[in-house]
Amino acid sequence: MLVSDAVAAVLAEFGADTVFGVVGSGNFHVTNALVKRGVRFVPARHECGAASMADGWARTTGRPGLLSVHQGPGLTNAMTGITEAAKSRTPLVVLAADVAASAIRSNFRIDVAAIASAVGAAPARLHSPDFAVDDTVRAYRTAVEERRTVILALPLDVQGGECPAPDAAMLAAARPVQAKVAVAGRKATGPGNRAKLLHEAESPEAPARLADAIRRAERPVFVAGRGARTSHAGEDLMALADVAGALLATSAAAKGLFRGSPWDLDISGGFASPLAAELIRDADLLVGWGCSLNMWTMRHGALIKPGTVVAQVDIESDALGGHRPVDLGVTGDVAAVAREATAILASDGAASGGAGATGYRSPELRLRIEREVRWRDVPYDDESDGRMIDPRTLSIALDDLLPAERTVAIDSGNFMGYPSMYLSVPDADGFCFTQAYQSIGLGLASAIGAAIARPDRLTVAALGDGGALMGVSELETAVRLRLPMIIVVYDDEAYGAEVHHFGPDGHPLDTVRFPPVNIAKIARGFGCSAVKVRQEADLANVGEWLDGPRAEPLLIDAKITSKRGSWWLEEAFRGH
């Protein structure tokens, strides 16, 4: 069997059913070998788009993504999307064609392993035809078990070699199913407090110590992050919060995890509403569940009052205390630790006659949360003037108009808080937030990946004009695939983030402002439907598209007011 075929056989056997990419001579055979095995190939128009599609798809399905690129420029074009995936710990295998080891003078020769390592991806390689199956198995297992983005270099001479067909029984036995708890054999080596923290976190007593801290807390708040989402811990955390009387919040990456709970404060951090921020800051115990408690989620620490006990639960010991001091760590799977803590606290309750803790919860607070915690219920001065619409007004109107069963994907920029804060999502899979690397231009492609992953939901891509034009080539992909998507462009005719960053200090802004661009016309040129929104009434046209066959994507070209920078960005700039 050809090695390119064997690689495809391994991936198909492991369950790959969708691969994104751009095909050149170097990845032609391996991509076709996948297609021959029933894997769907989604051709993108730019490798960076293909990478973000694979990333968005993997985040939305919770399964490892697959990307196929040509050697040399195919890989380098993909690098920004790959870097975002690597920083977000998206399990992703990149099939990266490469020149033969002997092609010393080829201009396509780049140091693939060095490129991978440089951005935090894991390097892998087909070493020879004899080892190709093992190498592919190992790369896939690294992606799944360590939640890594793996760049698997496929040298052309090795791809063209012959190898025995992979053994089906061996593959079945080698198939990775889930992330491993990465603590076995690992011992704390850091100095002082960190060593103590890690030592205690890995002890079997750690969940009991956490339960004890929860038991003693009067105002516990749980903040769940990406790790809680990948651990599918929503139900278990809500059950524990019920026993503990805790309030619930998430990082942006896990928005939607507690949807439906009356105690859900939504996102913690720069995007938190005033009431959410107040309640989080008043906690006497904060538990980060699969959540790094980084500067975004904790507003540079401003959401933690002095004296608040901070605990953190993570499947990786290394993550504990990584961003701020924690008093108590637990190494373990989030859902499993939550269940263990619930069992401990429930047995307390049984011993004391069944009375559960009320903790932070009261009927009055429940009512306040219901009435005030959503951003849309926070009063604001509408700056819409008939020529431009206030981005808050636009976002609230869209939230009302669009079906609740939706996936919201967000690009980077000043605008990004509006859709993040004002558009609700049905669950954590309904939110795709590719912001670990803070690149603009990935939002449209990640939305396309999410739309392919969840065709049953309406996908909403929220972009700035800068990010939209940077990633514009993938409009053709959305049209070609007839994806039922809405693409909302918050157009301020500028790199607004930079305008608001530097404007207040009186710097010249000509480098970050642009003349008007007719984005609706560009979208129509690609084959999209498009509507121009200058005031709220213009959104009636969106209703018409929603009522129609939705045969092509709809782009909403919205000119937005931008008198001043967004409040969450002011927060972010404090960190630079």
Ligand X SMILES: Cc1ncc(C[n+]2csc(CCOP(=O)(O)OP(=O)(O)O)c2C)c(N)n1
- CA dihedral of residues 546, 547, 550, 552 (deg, nearest 10): -70
Q: Are 420 and 449 in contact (CB under 8 A)?
A: no
Contacts of 204 (CB under 8 A, 6+ apart): none
| Closest CB to ligand X among residues 171, 517 | 517
Which of 13, 492, 557, 571: binder of ligand X (CB under 6 A)? 492
Q: What are the counts of helices (DSSP H) followed by strands (DSSP E) for the chain?
A: 24, 18
Q: Rounded to the nearest whole angstrom, what is the least distance from the CB of residue 398 to ligand X in the complex?
A: 16
Question: Locate tokens 């690397």: which residue?
Answer: 437
| Closest CB to Mg ion among residues 87, 559 | 559
The interface mask with Mg ion, positions 52-91, x = CB under 5 A, is ----------------------------------------
The answer to whether 439 contacts ligand X (rule: CB under 6 A) is yes
Angle, CA of 439, 467 and 226, to the nearest 5°: 45
Minimal CA–CA distance to 81: which of 33, 121, 134, 129? 121
Which of 245, 270, 464, 565: binder of Mg ion (CB under 5 A)? 464
- CA dihedral of residues 130, 135, 136, 140 (deg, nearest 10): 160
The beta-strand segments (E) located in 118-263 are 122-125, 149-155, 220-224, 247-250
Q: Rounded to the nearest whole angstrom, what is the least distance from the CB of residue 464 to ligand X in the complex?
A: 2
The answer to whether 572 contacts ligand X (rule: CB under 6 A) is no
Q: Are 174 and 141 in contact (CB under 8 A)?
A: yes
Binding site partner of 498, from Mg ion, ligand X, none, Cβ cut-off 5-8 A by kind: ligand X
Q: Rounded to the nearest whole angstrom, what is the least distance from the CB of residue 395 to ligand X in the complex?
A: 13
Can you state the percent helix, strand and coil of the chain, rounding each to 5? 45, 15, 35
Which of 176, 329, 419, 467: binder of ligand X (CB under 6 A)? 467
Which of 390, 465, 557, 571: binder of ligand X (CB under 6 A)? 465
Q: Rounded to the nearest whole angstrom, what is the least distance from the CB of residue 489 to ligand X in the complex?
A: 8
The answer to whether 552 contacts Mg ion (rule: CB under 5 A) is no
Of residues 476-535, those binding Mg ion (CB under 5 A): 492, 494, 496
The answer to whether 541 contacts ligand X (rule: CB under 6 A) is no
Q: Rounded to the nearest whole angstrom, what is the least distance from the CB of residue 444 to ligand X in the complex?
A: 11
- From 259-267, 347-355, 366-374, 486-494, span contacting ligand X (CB under 6 A): 486-494
Strand order through the sheet with 40-43: 40-43, 18-21, 65-69, 92-98, 149-155, 122-125
**Strand, helix or coil for residue 558:** strand
Q: Rounded to the nearest whole angstrom, what is the least distance from the CB of residue 530 to ligand X in the complex?
A: 18
- From 404-412, 460-468, 479-487, 546-554, span contacting Mg ion (CB under 5 A): 460-468
The answer to whether 321 contacts Mg ion (rule: CB under 5 A) is no
The answer to whether 496 contacts ligand X (rule: CB under 6 A) is yes
Of residues 153-172, those binding ligand X (CB under 6 A): none
Residue 309 has a CB neighbour count (10 Å cut-off) of 18
The beta-strand segments (E) located in 225-331 are 247-250, 264-267, 285-289, 309-314, 328-331
The two beta strands, 406-410 and 458-464, are parallel
Q: Rounded to the nearest whole angstrom, what is the least distance from the CB of residue 78 to ligand X in the complex?
A: 14
Binding site partner of 439, from ligand X, Mg ion, none, Cβ cut-off 5-8 A by kind: ligand X
| Closest CB to ligand X among residues 342, 561 | 561
The answer to whether 411 contacts Mg ion (rule: CB under 5 A) is no
The answer to whether 565 contacts ligand X (rule: CB under 6 A) is no
Token output for 150: 């793996």
**Strand, helix or coil for residue 33:** helix
The answer to whether 438 contacts ligand X (rule: CB under 6 A) is yes
Q: Can you tell me the distance from the alpha carbon of 418 to that of 375, in angstroms, rounded to the nearest whole number?
A: 9
Binding site partner of 471, from Mg ion, ligand X, none, Cβ cut-off 5-8 A by kind: none
The answer to whether 473 contacts ligand X (rule: CB under 6 A) is no
The answer to whether 81 contacts ligand X (rule: CB under 6 A) is no
Q: How many residues bind ligand X (CB under 6 A)?
A: 19
The answer to whether 497 contacts ligand X (rule: CB under 6 A) is yes
Give the DSSP letter of residue 522.
H
The answer to whether 444 contacts ligand X (rule: CB under 6 A) is no
β-sheet bridge partners, residue 328: 311
- From 5-13, 188-196, 374-382, 408-416, span contacting ligand X (CB under 6 A): 408-416
Token output for 497: 């983030």
> In sequence order, what DSSP letters do the residues of 115-149 get, joined into one string?
HHHHHTPEEEE---GGGHHHHHHHHHHHHHHTT-E
Binding region for Mg ion (CB under 5 A): 464-466, 492, 494, 496
Binding region for ligand X (CB under 6 A): 412-415, 438-441, 464-467, 490, 492, 494-498
